[in-house]
Structures are given as structure tokens and as C-alpha cells.
């Protein structure tokens, strides 16, 4: 039923187009449908609902043909052995293939570059510096995926939320993504941000974004926390941060308290683990410099 409604809306969008634009959008939809045939999301809805739903939203917001086509195909190369980035480039141009490749996890290279990336987040950030639409693609994907996040195990919820809070959300806030109405405004906001923060490369971008939420989180510790999110013990010895933490509604359902050590006067150590992704709040800048550890499963 949901798919039928979304398909009706997408069909209406197609009817507003003509010539090559209409043909390419139609081809992209058919390619996505083939790539995800018989696939289900964690919520058990047909997987094709995911690319079609967000394609509609991106089109209605930005009216960018290549961004919309790339969204329809964003999981195609990962989920279908018969579809490669090269195939997408041949059928839909290099611009679309670059956008799709930037969010394709099973490839450690990036089209239009000679670089190889060991970490998928570094590939993403490098692509963002080249084309801000790569960020729009990933942010739209993350926002839609979070709707079904509660179905995942707690450790995966925390891992996804940690990455979102450390990398994606800070740039979303900087660019005011969902309130900004045009692609040109998005680009202006992004490049103004890079200039104002003196950011020249993707490593500097990563470091800057991380520190907007986590005071002393290094690139090395980011990888450690990301890979062990379910087992990370966080520590607070700042009274103001603790006060913000306990103000969160239903806090006892969202964290697991490990220990509370009271020392002289106002000095204390409060250790806890995240249980749910909602806890990662931009208003709580956790200091993780020498204060996180790993517990055995």
C-alpha cells in the first residue's frame, strides 16, 4: 500500500519531465527496482520504498536530476552483483556514478580520483569536499535509516548514532540542511563554513566536525569508539555536563550506569554506557580525552 502511494507520487514527478530527463529518471527507477527485487528492510517493508520515498523528497526540495538519480541507485552497486559503478557511469554519466560511489561501502576507491581509502568515512569526507551533494545523499540516507533503527540491537544503534553525532549532525547544523531551500544555498553554506574554519582537506573537516560534539576526540579514538560502540564506557567529571545529561527525559532507559565515585567536595567520576541512540544529544559535549575504556563482552 505504501509503495503504491509512493509510486503514484513518483509517477506524477515523471509526468512533469520530458525528453532525456524523463527517460533517465525512469531508467534509474527500473534499475533500482531490479537491484532490490525481493529485498525487505528491517521493518519488513519492500526495500524499494526506501529509494523511491527519499528520491521524492530530494527532488521536491532541490530539483537536481543527478542527485535524484543517484539516490534511486545509492544502494544498487552494493546490493546487486549485476550492477557496478562502471555500469552506472555508462548509463547515467560520471557525475551520477561519483555520487553513488561516494556512499558505496564495498568499494575502497572513488571514481574520478586515484585514491584508495581504508575507512569508509574517510572516503565519504573526501567526496564531500569535492561535491557537497555527496553529503546530502548520505544525510538523507541516515535520516531515513534512523526511522527503523529501533529494530537493530542496542550496540548497532549506538554505533550508528555515534557516527551520526560525530560526523553528520554537526555539518547538518552548520548548513541548516532541512531549512535551506536550494542547492545553491547549501553549497554557499558549505563553502562558507570551510573558508571560515580554514579547512583545506577532508582530514581537517573530520577533525573539525568531531570536536563540535566531542571535545577531545581524535581520529584514532573515533575509530576505536566506532568499532566498539556497544562496549564503550564513558566518564563524566564535569558537573555541568552531568546536569545536562540527567535532564534528558527517560534518562534511566537510555543509559546504563556503571559506577559513581564521590571524592572530596565537588569532585566525582560518573561512568556509564549508552543503551539507545536517542541519548546522543548535541547539547551534551562529552569529553573523551583519556576517559573511555572498553569492557569485555
Q: What is the pLDDT of residue 297?
A: 30
Q: What is the pLDDT of residue 284?
A: 59
Q: How many separate helices (H) and strands (E) can be counted in the chain?
A: 15, 4
Write out the catalytic residue numbers.
78-79
At the top level of CATH, which class does the domain 2-137 belong to?
Answer: mainly alpha
Q: What is the pLDDT of residue 191?
A: 92
Q: How far apart are CA 118 and CA 287, in angstroms?
A: 26
Q: What is the pLDDT of residue 152?
A: 76
Q: How far apart are CA 84 and CA 101, in angstroms?
A: 9
Q: What is the pLDDT of residue 222?
A: 84
Q: What is the pLDDT of residue 192?
A: 93
**Which residues on adjacent β-strands are paired with residue 272?**
234, 257
Which of 118, 81, 77 has its CA nearest to residue 98?
A: 77
- Domain range list for the chain: 2-137, 178-294
Q: What is the pLDDT of residue 194?
A: 95
How far from 283 is each of 108, 144, 165, 179, 245, CA to CA, in Å? 34, 22, 11, 20, 9
Q: What is the pLDDT of residue 234?
A: 78
Q: What is the pLDDT of residue 278?
A: 59
Grid cell, residue 174, equals 552548520
Which of 40, 47, 34, 46 has its CA nearest to residue 82?
A: 34
How far from 50 is each of 6, 32, 145, CA to CA, in Å? 10, 10, 9
Yes or no: say if 217 and 234 are a contact pair by the CB < 8 Å rule: no
pTM score, whole prediction: 0.85
Q: How far apart are CA 80 and CA 84, in angstroms?
A: 8
Region of residue 88 (left: phi > 0; alpha: psi -120 to 50; beta: else)? alpha
Which of 178, 210, 208, 215 has its CA nearest to residue 193?
A: 208
How far from 35 is each of 105, 109, 145, 151, 196, CA to CA, in Å? 16, 21, 18, 24, 42
Q: What is the pLDDT along the chain (297 residues), one digit of tens a residue?
A: 567 788 889 999 999 999 999 999 999 999 999 999 988 887 778 889 889 998 998 999 899 999 999 999 999 998 888 999 999 999 998 999 999 999 998 889 999 998 899 888 999 999 999 999 999 999 888 888 777 777 777 777 778 878 888 888 888 888 877 677 789 999 999 999 999 999 999 999 999 998 887 766 777 778 877 887 777 777 777 777 788 788 878 888 878 888 888 766 667 788 888 776 655 554 555 654 333 444 333
Amino acid at each position: 500500500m505504501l509503495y503504491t502511494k509512493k509510486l503514484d507520487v513518483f509517477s506524477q514527478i515523471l509526468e512533469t519531465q520530458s525528453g532525456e530527463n524523463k527517460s533517465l529518471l525512469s531508467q534509474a527507477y527500473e534499475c533500482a527496482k531490479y537491484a532490490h527485487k525481493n529485498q525487505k528492510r528491517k521493518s519488513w517493508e519492500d526495500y524499494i520504498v526506501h529509494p523511491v520515498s527519499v528520491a521524492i523528497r530530494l527532488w521536491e526540495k532541490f530539483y537536481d536530476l543527478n542527485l535524484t538519480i543517484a539516490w534511486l541507485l545509492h544502494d544498487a552497486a552494493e546490493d546487486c552483483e549485476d550492477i557496478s559503478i562502471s555500469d552506472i557511469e555508462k548509463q547515467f554519466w560520471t557525475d551520477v556514478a561519483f555520487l553513488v560511489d561516494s556512499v558505496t561501502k564495498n568499494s575502497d576507491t572513488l571514481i574520478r580520483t586515484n585514491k584508495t581509502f581504508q575507512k569508509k568515512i574517510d572516503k565519504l569526507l573526501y567526496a564531500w569536499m569535492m561535491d557537497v551533494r555527496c553529503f546530502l545523499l548520505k544525510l538523507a540516507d541516515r535520516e531515513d535509516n534512523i526511522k527503523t533503527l529501533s529494530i537493530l540491537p542496542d550496540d548497532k544503534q549506538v554505533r550508528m548514532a555515534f557516527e551520526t553525532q560525530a560526523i553528520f549532525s554537526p555539518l547538518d547544523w552548520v548548513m541548516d540542511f532541512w531549512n535551506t531551500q536550494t542547492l545553491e544555498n547549501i553549497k554557499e553554506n558549505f563553502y562558507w563554513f570551510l573558508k571560515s574554519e580554514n579547512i583545506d582537506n577532508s582530514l581537517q573537516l573530520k577533525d573539525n566536525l568531531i570536536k563540535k560534539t566531542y571535545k577531545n576526540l581524535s581520529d584514532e579514538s573515533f575509530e576505536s569508539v566506532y568499532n566498539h560502540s556497544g562496549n564503550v564506557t564513558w566518564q563524566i567529571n564535569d558537573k555541568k555536563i552531568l546536569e545536562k545529561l540527567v535532564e534528558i527525559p527517560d534518562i534511566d532507559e537510555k543509559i546504563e550506569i556503571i559506577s559513581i565515585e564521590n571524592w572530596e567536595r565537588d569532585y566525582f567520576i560518573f561512568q556509564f554506557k549508552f543503551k539507545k541512540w536517542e541519548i546522543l544529544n548535541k547539547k551534551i559535549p562529552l569529553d573523551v580525552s583519556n576517559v573511555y575504556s572498553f569492557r569485555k563482552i
